[in-house]
Structure 1
């Protein structure tokens, strides 16, 4: 087993409110009540036990800095028809035969695997969409996490863009949820009950083994799935056009303390320290009470947020969600 020890440095506190001499614990009822008292565009609630360690919560949202990326990022530019972009769009409704794939909520457990789930989830969605729903499969997050040389940091974080690079150059095998026999290499980190700090331990990723799990009838090399070169889509309308045309996209964003408390509504940062980055699938958009949002799929299980989903402010690059969205086209 690969046990990696590391120190996460939390940046200096930069909040939008001054609490005075003592700042409430970021999982406390005081902070929940404060956020809800602001009557902002979203509601805060309890997703994590207040005794959950800082170490654990930092493990959950820790995607490595953009500056470490070694590969160039080609930009795809669509010819945009503004009149063709609807006010509401949901990829599950646009491709109903792939809805169960697109809307599936994963559980990364106590492991920094959001970047991997965002990458393989988006790729899996697009395999279904571009095969006209004739191919429906889960790609293995654990294979990507452990076998990519450029983003092989186990449970301590990863590079979203390097995940796409690995898919386009080497390939990723199939693999479903923890405890299943789905595919070549199902996820090996057990689910985590965020409400129970005693049962939610720290996850460790295994070493890279380019062999399918025992009991699988698949062969690793022949199970590898690859895609055309990945690309970036930048700007709100480019992102919308890409999603409408080719399916969900993956994007990283800044995670602040208040994001852990998100329960419903359209998230925008209200208060709290910056932790680091997370990644998610963007599957659509809409408007609520005049507030535009992106519809996103997280991998913190169905007990978090809006049954595993969240909505985040659209059009103003909230938490840098619109800075560098990634996509690619599968090969068959």
Structure 2
């Protein structure tokens, strides 16, 4: 059940990475650049993805000048030849460390609210994205924002006959976005369930048993659904939480809790196999036990991985590696979350779990105060990660509408409403709308053709 939250700055950095990953392969599929333009340095705005593996992943560095010594870098390419190390540079981020054994010249630090950020890291201030520059200063967009505190204060101080307020659903939007909002595009159905829109592509709730690893179960489940939807049903893997629990061990606690940012990093860089290949094994001794990693993979180029071991399940021979792109964070606006689910599939959410949630059976959950008269040790809460698959609305005994999310838990199908639960929507009940994550599967036409051929052969 335990989940450690990733910082906003880290996730925003991941969002920068997601922008151009798909287009890098297209650039490499054509001819390489033959002219190295010295007037437009690659790192003028700071190194993005400063800890990424590029020259190392390529297998080394090229001496002198070699215009074919390139690696995909976000939405462009970067070089690993010694010619790139000039005043105006087009080197890959890890060139200096991997090829020369020195610190990169373009990485500085910026401060914000007592926290230190590296060059290229970002944060969003209202509707403007700010990037830590190479000189240690923040470089921010200059968009006019829809919600400005000084405008609200000026209206409320004046004698205009009306009062202003800060509406959270508009915060973070630019003035242009607000003026161009199409009311028709904002219409969403009263009820929606991804299971019904994408039959056969949304996976059933899992059972984490006596293993506090919702970080791994929710991550694997959301990625499974997204890959199935994105591949139009050609690939419908139930990805293995055990693969994450046993193999994603860097700063993770396995069955004693873990970080969702670490899980998504592993899915992106290493990938996982299916549940059939790497089935769940309940810890036999202590909750901290994560077990020995039974699956390894190697790079086969362009970020793709290939398994180098057979499945731990000796009855399964399909050890295909599945990967994702970096995750992206949604706002806490319930309409944005709803639209994302309806357009692209289920999302991952972090929520606070209280003692009464464990006994939930049916209905629209809201945390109660029934344990208030009990001693403090009877009132506890923890952090949990779940998968939101839809939403709905019903009337209470007074005839008033009650809005809810439909979410899949990982406590088995005998818990709740066949493994699912409904929870109040639009009220940030148990912080469920505070931290919502979506992702794209790393799916190519080659992957889909390979899976289709395998199904026909089977």
Given the alignment, which residue of 106, 121, 127 partners 2:206? 106
Closer/same/farther in 2, CA of residues 68 and 292 from structure 1, 3 Å limit? closer
TM-score using structure 2 length:
0.51
Could you say which residue in structure 1 is the equivalent of 2:314? 215
CA contact (8 A) 2:364 2:404 kept: yes
How far residue 237 of structure 1 moved from its aligned partner, in angstroms, is 1.2
For the aligned residues, what is the CA RMSD?
A: 2.8
1:156 matched residue in structure 2: 256
Query: Closer, same or farther in 2 for the Cα pair 1:172/1:205, shift >3 Å?
Result: same
Q: 2 CA distance for matches of 1:231 and 1:83?
A: 21
Aligned position for 1:288: 394
Q: Which residue among 307, 317, 322 is the counterpart of 2:418?
A: 307
Q: Does 1:258 align with 2:375?
A: no
Q: Rate the CA distance shift 1:284–1:143 in 2: closer, same or farther, 3 A.
A: same
Cα distance change on mapping 1:225 and 1:313 into 2, 3 Å: same
Partner of 1:206: 291
Q: 2:230 aligns with which of 101, 109, 130?
A: 130
Instruction: State the match for 1:143 in structure 2.
Output: 243
* Alpha-carbon displacement from aligned partner over 1:32-84 (angstroms, at most 9, x marks no partner): xxxxxxxxxxxxxxxxxxxxxxxxxxxxx322355699654539999885543
* SS of corresponding position for 1:283: strand
Residues 105, 326 of structure 1: alpha-carbon distance in 2 compared, 3 angstrom cutoff: same
1:187 counterpart (261, 272, 280): 280
Q: 1:297 aligns with which of 396, 408, 411?
A: 408
| CA–CA distance in structure 1, aligned partners of residues 258 and 287 of structure 2 | 17
User: What residue ranges of structure 1 are gaps of 5+ in the alignment?
Assistant: 1-60, 176-181, 191-198
State the alpha-carbon separation in 1 of the partners of residues 390 and 6 from structure 2: 25
Q: 2:437 corresponds to which residue?
A: 326
TM-superposition CA deviations, 1:192-247 (whole Å, max 9, x none): xxxxxxx9996843122324205155475xx2211222101112111111101110
Unaligned runs of 5+ in 2: 20-172, 296-308, 372-378, 396-400, 444-458
Change in 2 beyond 3 A, CA 1:140/1:286: same
Q: Does 1:115 align with 2:237?
A: no
- Structure 2 vs 1, CA of residues 150 and 314 (structure 1 numbering), >3 Å: closer, same or farther? farther
Q: Return structure 1 stretches of 4+ with deviation > 3 angstroms.
A: 65-73, 75-84, 199-204, 216-220
Question: Is contact 1:140–1:187 with CA below 8 Å preserved after alignment?
Answer: yes
Judge conservation of contact 2:212–2:287 (CA < 8 Å) in 1.
no
Q: Which moved more, 1:154-163 or 1:304-313?
A: 154-163
Paired residues, what number?
Answer: 252
- Select which of 383, 403, 428 maps to 1:317: 428
8 Å contact 2:254–2:288 — kept in the other structure?
no
Cα 1:328–1:151 change in 2 (3 A) is farther
Q: Distance in 2 between matches of 1:69 and 1:276?
A: 23
For 2:335, what is the secondary structure of its paired residue? helix
User: 2:265 and 2:330 mapped to 1: Cα distance?
Assistant: 16
Which whole-Å CA distance do the structure 1 matches of 2:251 and 2:196 have between them?
A: 33
- Rg comparison, structure with higher value: 2
Alpha-carbon distance between aligned partners in 1 of 2:413 and 2:434, rounded to the nearest angstrom? 27
Query: Relative contact order, CA 8 A, sep 6+: which one is greater?
Result: 1
